[in-house]
Amino acid sequence: MTKNHPYLDEKVMTIKIVTEMTGLSERQVRYYEERELIFPKRNSSGTRMYSFSDIERLMDIAEKIEDGVRTRELRKDLF
C-alpha cells in the first residue's frame, strides 16, 4: 500500500476541503486527531494542514467507526 507518490503526503489542505472531500464534520476530523488517529501539521498560524494520505485515512477511519469499532481499537492497530 506504500505507493511511490510525490504529492500524497504533502500537508497542504485546510480542514474545510477535508470535510468536503470526506463528508465528515470538522468536529469528527479534529476528534480523530485528538484520539491520535491522524496527524495533521500546523502552519505558522496554527491552522491544521492535511495531505491526501490523511484524506484516505480519514475515510478508512470513518468506515470503521460506523462499523462500531472504537477509536481506542483503531489506535492500537497503528502498532
Partner DNA sequence: CGTGTAAGGAATTCTGACACG
**Residue numbers of the site for a copy of itself (CB under 8 A)?**
5-8, 10, 12-14, 16-17, 20-21, 43, 49, 52
Exposed, middle or buried, 54 (CB in 10 Å: 0-12/13-18/19+)?
buried
The C-alpha cell that represents 62 in the structure block: 470513518
Minimum distance of a copy of itself from residue 13's CB (angstroms): 5
58 binds, among a copy of itself, DNA, none (CB under 5 to 8 A by kind): none
Which residue ranges make up the site for DNA (CB under 7 A)? 14-17, 25-28, 30-32, 35, 43-48, 62, 65, 70-72
Distance between CA 16 and CA 33 in Å, rounded? 15
Minimum distance of DNA from residue 4's CB (angstroms): 29
Instruction: Collect contacts of 25-29 with beta carbons under 8 A, ≥24 apart.
Output: 28/62, 29/58
Minimum distance of DNA from residue 2's CB (angstroms): 27
